[in-house]
Amino acid sequence: MGPSRFSHPEQGVYLVGMKSYGRAPTFLAMTGYEQVRSITAALAGDQEAAERVELTLPETGVCGGAGLFDEPDAAQNSEGGGCCATPATLQIGIGATASSGGC
């Protein structure tokens, strides 16, 4: 990976995520974390750490997860498992209307 792959012609400017998997919507978070880690090390002056790859991807290229975000895994939800509870609905009230008029 290395920061040179993400560098921009302007010094100190880097782009992450854009150059991974051809801008695919299935951009892996682990890949993004590795890109940011590498650039952070370069900015901190640790070139050895910046060039080192600390990423292990699964053979399938899929890092698990629930699949589609709007269709969570039914097996986990029916058993009450998973790492998170069902999200609670947050009711946000409406503020007072702004008064009309000048200063």
- CA–CA separation, 60 vs 16, rounded Å? 22
In the three-class reduction of DSSP (H, G, I as helix; E, B as strand; rest coil), residue 28 is classed as coil
* Model confidence pLDDT, tens digit, residues 1-45: 677 777 777 887 878 776 555 555 555 677 778 888 888 998 899
The pTM assigned to this predicted structure is 0.47
* Model confidence pLDDT, tens digit, residues 38-58: 889 988 999 899 888 887 766
Task: Find out whether 20 and 57 touch, Cβ atoms under 8 Å.
Answer: no
Print the domain residue range for 9.
3-79
- Please tell me the total count of domains within the chain: 1
Which residues make beta-bridge pairs with 14? 7
Task: Find out whether 55 and 30 touch, Cβ atoms under 8 Å.
Answer: yes
Task: Examine residue 62 and state whether it is found in any structural domain, yes or no.
Answer: yes
Task: Examine residue 49 and state whether it is found in any structural domain, yes or no.
Answer: yes
